[in-house]
Amino acid sequence: MCGICCVASLSVQHTIGRVFKEDLLCNLRRRGPDCSQQQIKTISDLSYQCLFSGHVLHLRGLMTPQPLTDINNNVFLWNGEVFNGIHVGLVENDTQVMFHHLSSCSNESDILSLFSLVRGPWSFIYYQASKHYLWFGRDYFGRRSLLWQFNNDLDRALCLSSVSALSESDNQWQEVPASGIYRVDLKACAISQSLVLTLYPWKYHTKENAIEETFLSGRDQISKELPSYVSLTMNDSKLSLITPVVPLNRTVPETSVDTHCPNITNSTVTVDDLHGFLAEEHKKKLVHQLIDVLSEAVKRRVLYLFRDADQHTGEILSKPTKKAHIAVLFSGGIDSMLIAALADRHIPLEEPIDLLNVAFMIKEQTKQSNQKKNLELHSCQECFKKLDTTPVDNLTCFNVPDRITGRAGLKELETINPSRTWNFVEINVTLEELKRMRQQHISYLVYPLDTVLDDSIGCAVWFASRGEGFITTQGDLKPYKSSAKIVLTGIGADEQLAGYSRHRVCFKKYGLEGLNKELGMELGRISSRNLGRDDRIIGDHGKEARFPFLDEDVVSFLNSLPVSEKADLTLPRGIGEKLLLRLAAKEVGLKASTVLPKRAMQFGSRIAKMEKSNEKASDKCSRLQSV
Ligand SMILES: *[C@@H]1O[C@H](CO)[C@@H](O)[C@H](O)[C@H]1NC(C)=O
Ligand SMILES: *[C@@H]1O[C@H](CO)[C@@H](O)[C@H](O)[C@H]1NC(C)=O
Ligand SMILES: *[C@@H]1O[C@H](CO)[C@@H](O)[C@H](O)[C@H]1NC(C)=O
Ligand SMILES: *[C@@H]1O[C@H](CO)[C@@H](O)[C@H](O)[C@H]1NC(C)=O
Ligand SMILES: *[C@@H]1O[C@H](CO)[C@@H](O)[C@H](O)[C@H]1NC(C)=O
Ligand SMILES: *[C@@H]1O[C@H](CO)[C@@H](O)[C@H](O)[C@H]1NC(C)=O
Ligand SMILES: *[C@@H]1O[C@H](CO)[C@@H](O)[C@H](O)[C@H]1NC(C)=O
């Protein structure tokens, strides 16, 4: 959504412009195309200097330019969404509301309480003038990007920014660890000419009122990554933030789970196989609880948005040629299908929904027209059987797996709601375009992440969320550019409901205890593995990523269940992983898509096959570095 940046220099001699260069400004502007401002504060007697730069993507309430300042000289930059926890009136802007609360905080614990209450994604930078403190941080899951960079040459400086610019300087950017919020005492630092960060970590607040350390608060881990001239401390008074979700339930059933359900040994799983599970009263109740909590999360994410722009043009459009406000990153797999089906419940009926489906061309276009009636399939079952056996060459050009399941998924959604306009946006990417855009944009957005997997997913998500492709209307393919500023993604489902194949491996080796450990670890590192990157990638189009599966209420609900309720990895692929979600999808009215096995985006979109196919996902990606 927004682009925020602050450069704090512990000297007033050198200009901040050495760090804050044109390319960084350009990259920030792409995230916040609606309004850009800069502000410099120089506290010369104490000899420090700060530049604040704010770039706004306008989504809710009245347009609020950033940075915000008040009469006490406080400064606030906010890249977030308050979905809940703190009251934001219909026509209010959450930036203003947060700033108002912050400036009335009289001590540190007030500030920590405020951020403990917010439900929704955020990163922020706050300058508390009276104390000379600079506060900053990211939400518990790290759903918004924030990077830091430290300079130790002419003048010591700390830079914070939503996105970086690849620079020739040796000073690397790193993601700010989403382990809590940080405070820098600029006055003290300017006097001692050293940078000291104070971390206030997240801690669980359990029912018994005992406070437990969270998995990730590890100060040592963060310190290891910092340059030697920066130190990290924690306040002795043990002040901390309270996690917005309950801890993971690690209960493991004593007896092996007894199944009233059909013994599924047949490898062709069908939607009917889900039926038996729903006969169980207890299971059915959980399934409906999941639907309710997820539906509510989707609702908040599709309705918290300024929709009336059309009205202000003064025209009354005779034909409702409404534009889409919401898009879904759409592979036709179960996560994106369920999100699309739930979004349909809450988005005004006359508004189209864009389903963004990306495909990478595998080879130079072989000029063979469709003599083979190619895989135009109506059932996913069928197409999956074919996909597993069809050599890549048999698929025509852009008919990659995600395209095929995407089309099948579209048919299911059209059945669920025939009156909705579903724009299935086919985004075909050629090797040439991939190379060009990677060089111009994607490489610095993925940065500081750097693996082959980051490259594949970064590129796939960038092209998908850009939303430029073709839609079929009345049988004709027409160019189309999605106007939706909100992009919903299904990330978080696999980490919470044991969707990845590595979870099967883990379960086989270490049982449910091992699986619990793995899932807890994965949710703990999702900020550094995925979310910062995805926010930078999607934000680059002046759009905002929203993650229903990482809504605090959804995570708390799923965390409260023992893993045996969420998945049953003794069952075959296509049913055992994310079992609870599959049951929910069935109850919502989805059909064959409910039993699709997981296919990772890099394989589904075939980007992983496009360039070198012999690399390991965890290798450093040379294509990102050769910029
Ligand atoms: C932002 O919201 C506040 C509170 O609703 C309002 O007073 C203010 O005018 C808004 N800011 C702008 C720039 O519209
Ligand atoms: C912080 O200030 C609030 C009033 O704003 C007060 O109620 C609270 O006791 C103070 N906490 C500490 C730890 O000083
Ligand atoms: C820790 O927090 C307390 C209470 O807000 C404050 O008085 C104290 O100065 C802080 N200590 C350090 C080392 O920052
Ligand atoms: C698996 O199920 C399919 C469809 O229900 C059926 O046609 C097939 O015979 C079954 N195979 C086995 C080995 O049971
Ligand atoms: C793939 O193409 C080859 C050669 O055109 C053909 O012989 C083969 O039957 C095709 N396979 C499938 C599964 O369509
Ligand atoms: C994109 O790829 C699809 C195959 O999935 C093809 O049907 C369509 O014609 C392609 N569109 C363009 C503009 O090349
Ligand atoms: C964990 O799950 C078990 C079994 O459903 C339940 O009895 C227990 O209350 C749960 N614990 C927590 C902390 O939610």
Highest mean pLDDT among 62-66, 183-187, 233-237, 391-395: 183-187
Residue minimizing CA distance to atom 6 of ligand 1: 92
Residue minimizing CA distance to atom 4 of ligand 7: 562
* pLDDT (0 to 100) of residue 383: 44
Instruction: Describe the chain by its helix, strand, coil percentages, rounded to 5.
Output: 40, 20, 40
Which residues belong to CATH 3.40.50.620 in the chain? Answer: 271-625
Q: How many CB atoms lie within 10 A of CB 382?
A: 14
* pLDDT (0 to 100) of residue 372: 36
State yes or no: pLDDT of 314 exceeds 80.
no
* pLDDT (0 to 100) of residue 301: 96
CA distance readout (Å), 347 to 39, 121, 326, 340, 343: 38, 21, 8, 10, 6
- What pTM, to 2 d.p., does this model score? 0.88
Q: How many CB atoms lie within 10 A of CB 625?
A: 12
Say yes or no: CB of residue 109 within 6 Å of ligand 2.
yes
* pLDDT (0 to 100) of residue 364: 45
Distance CA 137, CA 412 (A): 41
State yes or no: pLDDT of 212 exceeds 60.
no
Percent of the chain with pLDDT over 90: 60
Average of per-residue pLDDT across 506-510? 94
Contact 4, 123 (CB under 8 A): yes
* pLDDT (0 to 100) of residue 110: 96
pLDDT band, residue 596 (cuts 50/70/90): confident
Average of per-residue pLDDT across 452-458? 94
Q: Which atom of ligand 1 is nearest to the CA of 92?
A: 5
Q: Which atom of ligand 2 is nearest to the CA of 237?
A: 13
Average of per-residue pLDDT across 247-268? 68
pLDDT band, residue 15 (cuts 50/70/90): low
Q: Tell me the CA–centroid distance for residue 108 and ligand 3, in Å.
A: 8
Percent of the chain with pLDDT over 70: 85
Our mutation pick for probing the ligand 1 site, out of 96, 99, 306, counting the most ligand atoms within 8 A of Cβ, is: 96
Ligand number with the minimum distance to the CA of 368: 5
Q: How many CB atoms lie within 10 A of CB 213?
A: 12
Say yes or no: CB of residue 562 within 6 Å of ligand 7.
yes
Give the Cα-Cα-Cα angle 542, 543, 544 (nearest 5 degrees): 135
Say yes or no: CB of residue 390 within 6 Å of ligand 5.
yes
Q: 533 burial class (0-12, 13-18, 19+ CB within 10 angstroms)?
A: buried
Average of per-residue pLDDT across 513-540? 94
Q: Tell me the CA–centroid distance for residue 97 and ligand 1, in Å.
A: 9
* pLDDT (0 to 100) of residue 44: 63
State yes or no: pLDDT of 267 exceeds 90.
no
Q: Give 528-570 pLDDT, tens digit per residue.
A: 999 999 999 999 999 999 999 999 999 999 999 999 999 999 9
Q: Tell me the CA–centroid distance for residue 547 and ligand 1, in Å.
A: 27
State yes or no: pLDDT of 374 exceeds 50.
no
Q: 349 burial class (0-12, 13-18, 19+ CB within 10 angstroms)?
A: exposed
Average of per-residue pLDDT across 455-468? 96
Q: Tell me the CA–centroid distance for residue 6 and ligand 1, in Å.
A: 23
* pLDDT (0 to 100) of residue 270: 79
Task: Spot the catalytic one: 2, 5, 261, 506.
Answer: 2
State yes or no: pLDDT of 376 exceeds 60.
no
Our mutation pick for probing the ligand 5 site, out of 394, 399, 404, counting the most ligand atoms within 8 A of Cβ, is: 394
* pLDDT (0 to 100) of residue 493: 96
* pLDDT (0 to 100) of residue 262: 52
CA distance readout (Å), 604 to 256, 370, 403, 597: 35, 22, 8, 11
Average of per-residue pLDDT across 19-41? 86
The question of whether 2 is a catalytic residue gets the answer yes
Collapse the DSSP code of 494 into the 3-class scheme (helix H, G, I; strand E, B; otherwise coil) and give the result.
Answer: helix
* pLDDT (0 to 100) of residue 309: 53
State yes or no: pLDDT of 392 exceeds 80.
no
Say yes or no: CB of residue 394 within 6 Å of ligand 5.
yes
State yes or no: pLDDT of 248 exceeds 50.
yes
Q: Give 140-194 pLDDT, tens digit per residue.
A: 999 999 999 998 876 788 999 999 987 666 678 999 999 999 999 999 998 888 8
* pLDDT (0 to 100) of residue 317: 47
Average of per-residue pLDDT across 222-244? 85
Residue minimizing CA distance to atom 5 of ligand 5: 394
State yes or no: pLDDT of 370 exceeds 90.
no
Classify domain 271-625 by CATH number. 3.40.50.620
> Per CATH, which fold does 2-242 belong to?
Glutamine Phosphoribosylpyrophosphate, subunit 1, domain 1 (3.60.20)
Decide which of 195 and 165 is more confident.
195
Closest by CA position to 48, among listed 146, 124, 149, 157: 157
Decide which of 154 and 94 is more confident.
94
* pLDDT (0 to 100) of residue 260: 44
* pLDDT (0 to 100) of residue 396: 57
* pLDDT (0 to 100) of residue 196: 94
State yes or no: pLDDT of 205 exceeds 70.
yes
State yes or no: pLDDT of 107 exceeds 60.
yes
Which residues belong to CATH 3.60.20.10 in the chain? Answer: 2-242
Closest by CA position to 82, among listed 617, 615, 552, 621: 552
